[in-house]
Amino acid sequence: MCREDGVYEDEIVLCASSAYVKKYYLNEEFEALPDSVKDELKAMCVLYTEDVGGVLTLLFDGSGNLQFRASADDGDLLYDEIGSVLKIKQLQQTRRDLLESLELYFKVFFLGEEAEV
The reply to whether 2 falls in a domain is: no
The reply to whether 103 falls in a domain is: yes
- Domain hosting 100: range is 12-109
The reply to whether 20 falls in a domain is: yes
Query: Any residues with CB less than 8 A from the CB of 81 and at least 6 apart, and which?
Result: 72
The reply to whether 46 falls in a domain is: yes
pTM of the model: 0.88
Residue 49: what residue type?
A: T
The reply to whether 4 falls in a domain is: no
Spell out the per-residue pLDDT of the chain, length 117, in tens. Answer: 444 544 446 899 999 999 999 999 999 999 999 999 999 999 999 999 999 999 999 999 999 999 999 999 999 988 989 999 999 999 999 999 999 999 999 999 999 998 776
Counting every residue written for the chain, the total comes to 117
Phi then psi dihedrals of residue 35, to 5 deg:
-55, -35
Instruction: Domain count for the chain, please give it.
Output: 1
The reply to whether 51 falls in a domain is: yes
pLDDT at residue 66, as a whole number: 97
The reply to whether 92 falls in a domain is: yes
